[in-house]
Amino acid sequence: MLSKAKIAVLVSGGGTNLQALIDAQSAGKITSGEISLVISNNPGAYALTRAQNAGIKTAVISKKELGADKFEQALIEQLEENGIELIILAGFMCILSEGFTSKYPKRIINVHPSLIPSFCGEGFYGLKVHEAALRYGVKVTGATVHFVNEIPDGGEIILQRAVEIQDGDTPEILQKRVMEEAEWHLLPQAAEKVSAEIIKSR
C-alpha cells in the first residue's frame, strides 16, 4: 500500500478548522493523508491544545521574534525534518513570501471565509471578511479552499461552497454559519483530494 501524504497544518488561533481536519481523519474521511505536524506562529493559540489532545506533534515558530526571513527558514526546516508533503493553512494569519510559496507549488492549500474573488487578498482575514460582506450587502457569501501562490488568496480554486446571509446577521453570527456550513466540510474534502493527488504523483 502507498504511504500516506504527510500533512502539516499551520495555525494562528482557535483552530476549529484544524479540529475539523482531526475529526475527519478519525472518522476515516481522510485516508490518503496523515496530519503529522501542527505549527503555530502564536504560542497562545488554542489550536496547539487541540493538536496535543489529538496526540499530534506541535511546534511554535514566532514571526515576531525571528523576523520574516528567519521565520520562513525555520518553517522550511521543520517541514523538511518532518518529511511534509502537504501544507494546510487553517486560520494561519501570516502571508508567506514568493520565496516560500514557489518552493511548494500545488502543495500548500488555504481556507478563506468568502467566495473568492470577493472579499479576499491582503487585509481580508478572520472577522474582517464577514464585516466587509455585510457592509457591502451581499446576500450570499461562503468559503473557498485554494492552492497558495505568491498572490494573497490568488491561487487556483479547489472547492467552494455558498452560504446565505440572513437578516440580522452580525459578523460573528455569519462567521459561525460559514464555518459550520462550508469551511469545516470543504477543508477536509480538499485535504483528502490533494493528498490523493500527491500519492499518485510520487
| Residue numbers at the binding site for ligand GAR (CB under 6 A) | 13-17, 47, 90-91, 111-113, 125-126, 129, 179, 183
Minimum distance, C-beta of residue 56 to ligand GAR, in the bound complex (Å): 15
Reply yes or no on whether 112 is catalytic: yes
Render the burial of 36-69: b for 16+ CB within 10 Å, e for the rest.
Answer: bbbbbbbeebbbbebbeebebebbebebeeeeee
> Phi/psi at 201 (nearest 5 deg)?
-85, -5
Distance between CA atoms of 149 and 106, rounded to whole angstroms?
8
Question: Which residue in the shown chain puts its C-beta closest to ligand GAR?
Answer: 91
Catalytic annotation, pick one of 112, 130, 146, 185 = 112
Minimum distance, C-beta of residue 102 to ligand GAR, in the bound complex (Å): 20
| Residue with Cβ nearer ligand GAR (20 or 86) | 20
Minimum distance, C-beta of residue 111 to ligand GAR, in the bound complex (Å): 5
What residues act catalytically? 112
